[in-house]
Amino acid sequence: MWASASEGVQSSIIREKQADYLFLLTKSSRVEAERAAMGYARSIDATSGDVQRLGAFYREALLWRAAALTERQFVESIKKTRVNFQAPSDRILESVDGGFRQLPGYANAEYVIVSFDVRFADSPLIYTEQFTLERVPALSTWRLVAYFMSTKPFYLYE
């Protein structure tokens, strides 16, 4: 009996601590995050060299959070990553990971990381794109706060 009561208390403490770092990402929230990331992906595809448009993404998110990067760093990170590529020939959802309340260097809010596998017409490689999105629960609009792209290891190719 003592073990059961003790386990119950420990479980309760663990759930309380988890609530500080995690939130339940509902199916509808996953779909909203996926759509938001796809919208950002299409915008980046169309404007990867457009400093003004990329800066607008930064400023939209900056309204709700403390800056982990300066606007220039944010814009340059996307431009540097995408400058040598044509438009994608294929983009497939890989995952929506989330339910994070905290990420290093960012204000407390709700975060998800949406990943896509992407192929570009001018490259034989498969790339993974990651969109880190943030929302303030009261506003419930996902905003782009970070973008990352890397080649997918060859052993993970289809």
Per-residue confidence (pLDDT) for residue 49, from 0 to 100: 64
Which fold is adopted by the domain 22-156? Answer: Nuclear Transport Factor 2; Chain: A, (3.10.450)
Give me the sheet containing 110-120, strands edge to edge.
88-100, 110-120, 126-135, 143-151
CA distance 158 to 154: 9
Q: Which residue did the predictor score with more confidence, 30 or 68?
A: 30
Query: How confident is the model at residue 1, as a pLDDT?
Result: 40
Contact assessment for residue 117 and residue 127, using Cβ atoms and an 8 Å cutoff: yes
| Rg of the chain taking only CA atoms, in angstroms | 18
**Among 52, 36, 22, 68, which residue's Cα sits nearest to residue 133?**
36
Question: Quick one: pLDDT at residue 36?
Answer: 95
User: Residue 2: is its pLDDT beyond 80?
Assistant: no
The predicted model scores a pTM of: 0.79
Confidence of residue 31 (pLDDT cuts 50, 70, 90): very high
Q: Classify residue 136 as left (phi > 0), alpha (psi -120 to 50) or beta.
A: beta
The answer to whether residue 9 scores a pLDDT higher than 60 is no
Q: Could you tell me the residue ranges of all domains in the chain?
A: 22-156
Query: Would the CA dihedral through 68, 74, 76, 79 be positive or negative?
Result: positive
**153: DSSP letter:** P
Would you say 116 and 94 are in contact if contact means Cβ atoms under 8 Å apart? yes
Q: What is the pLDDT of residues 40-81, one digit of tens each?
A: 998 888 876 677 888 888 887 765 555 667 888 888 888 888
